Amino acid sequence: MRRTRFPRMSRVVTLALLPAVLVACSADPDGPVGPGPASTVSSVSPATPVPPAPTAVSPEQQRTLDTGLIDAAWANDVDRAEDLIGRGADVNAVDETTQSAFLIAASEGYTDLLRLTLENGADLGRHDSYDGTALIRAAERGHADIVGILLQTDMPVDHVNNLGWTALHEALEFASRAGGPNRGDDRDFVDTARLLVAAGADPTLPAASDGRTALDIARDAGLQVQSALLEQAAAAPGPAGESSDAELLGAAGQGDVTGAVIALRRGAGLESRNGQGQTPLLVASAADYPDVARLLVRLGADPNAVDERSDTPWLVTGVTGSVEVGRLLLAAGADLSATNRFGGLSPHPASERGHADYVDWVVGTGVDIDHVNTPGWTALLEAVVYGDGSERYQRIVRALVGAGADVGVRGPEGRTALDEAEARGQGDVARILAGA
């Protein structure tokens, strides 16, 4: 089965290992381990920072650091784990059950910890006592966000552990345990299967333990959504080149998450563009299809891709008022300072259109609620000028005022929000503003 190639995570995983490799290659195998001669250092540009050599530690100190890292991993104490790694703890150290911090993060669903271990050279080939990969461990527990991160690395999607299972087999076999301790919910297990299939997991591969395929397991367990997905995946033709890009964009615009999975499986590009310069994620966000958006984001789609109208996936959530998609994009690193073609931030269209739930939420994200767009309006002014003073607009005004919006900002005609409310007969809004 062809493996779909998604945008790779930062190559820090490789780069973190590079200095040690270079030292090993250049050092005299019979000589002492340590910094090279002065001539080696002199070849480095003065502007290039040279990290200090790590402080030597005794074997006992190393064991203490490594044990502390494992303990921090089980506790999901990311700050402590980062400190210990910085002090020399081996990110690939294992406990008596052969579990490293990386494997612990994958099985327990600790996303930030997983990223920390990857950034510091986690060994992707580290297997657990069942010869299982981190991907298998995450899939077994329905940690869809972890699965998405791992699929952006070079980890094999169809690795078989010594029980005879792949990640896809386990995502289906253990779906009945959804919602249990340290496990995802039903939606997470569905999303996990979708991610694996999109990445090229083989639905026809029989489990070595009992000979059942992923589709057999899904059917036996009564997993209707997963069964339908796997039926289409088994029937899907091979890579289709440019046509699959169009299929992905079309599926994104129709909210067809299964169609999006199949298109990705066939080689569609996450950052492909339609005639308006929109990526699949931007299309899905603009149409407010959270399931498709969640699939794309977890596979690494860019939350800040800009189309020909200067819209981004984040900006259009202000137009749709989708808190669900907004939360998803915020977690993925959306740029809250990006401006649309009118020079506005996401609260501008949300306030104009009366998306009260969205404004209630977005004021707590750190977005600049006093930003003035090109026509000269703040979100507060737009809520009054383009609103009708109804309850939803009153909620928006309360949310903005409560978040500290500057009620004294004047619009292009020199009037404040209070002036505009009084001029438009919006008595309830005027009273909110007058009391600010």
State how far the Cα of 91 lies from the Cα of 385, in Å rounded to an integer.
Answer: 56
Intervals of CATH 1.25.40.20 along the chain: 12-29+58-235, 247-270+278-323, 342-436
State how far the Cα of 8 lies from the Cα of 355, in Å rounded to an integer.
Answer: 36
pLDDT per residue rounded down to tens, the chain (436 residues): 444 546 655 434 444 433 333 333 333 333 333 333 333 333 333 344 554 555 678 899 999 999 999 999 999 999 999 999 999 999 999 998 899 999 999 999 999 999 999 999 999 999 999 999 999 999 999 999 999 999 999 999 999 999 999 999 999 999 999 999 889 999 999 999 999 999 999 999 999 889 999 999 999 999 999 999 999 998 876 665 568 999 999 999 999 999 999 999 999 999 999 999 999 999 999 999 999 999 999 999 999 999 999 999 999 999 999 999 999 999 999 999 999 999 999 999 999 999 999 999 999 999 999 999 999 999 999 999 999 999 999 999 999 999 999 999 999 999 999 999 999 999 999 999 998 8
Considering the four listed CATH numbers 3.30.70.260, 1.25.40.20, 1.10.10.10, 3.40.47.10, the one that applies to the domain covering 342-436 is 1.25.40.20
One-letter amino acid of 87: R
String of DSSP letters for 130-165 = TS--HHHHHHHTT-HHHHHHHTTTT--TT---TTS-
pLDDT, position 236? 76
Nearest to 151 by CA among 108, 118, 187: 118
Phi, psi of 209 (to 5 degrees): -75, -40
What letter would DSSP give residue 129? T
Q: How much is the pTM?
A: 0.85
Which fold would CATH assign to domain 247-270+278-323?
A: 1.25.40
Phi, psi of 100 (to 5 degrees): -95, 170
Nearest to 136 by CA among 167, 172, 177, 160: 167
**347 near 363, Cβ under 8 Å?**
yes
Torsion of CA 249, 305, 310, 325, to 10 degrees: 70
Reading the block at residue 227, the tokens are 């069964």
SS3 assignment, position 387? coil
CA–CA distance from 75 to each of 83, 113, 137, 194, 302 (Å)?
A: 14, 10, 18, 30, 31
pLDDT, position 339? 97
Task: Quote the radius of gyration of the chain (alpha carbons, Å).
Answer: 26
pLDDT, position 33? 31
Matching residue, tokens 């915020």? 330
pLDDT, position 40? 32
Cα separation of the two ends of the chain: 62
Considering the four listed CATH numbers 3.90.550.10, 1.25.40.20, 1.10.3720.10, 3.40.50.1370, the one that applies to the domain covering 12-29+58-235 is 1.25.40.20
String of DSSP letters for 208-249 = TTT---HHHHHHHTT-HHHHHHHHHHHH--S--THHHHHHHH
pLDDT, position 45? 39
State how far the Cα of 134 lies from the Cα of 188, in Å rounded to an integer.
Answer: 17
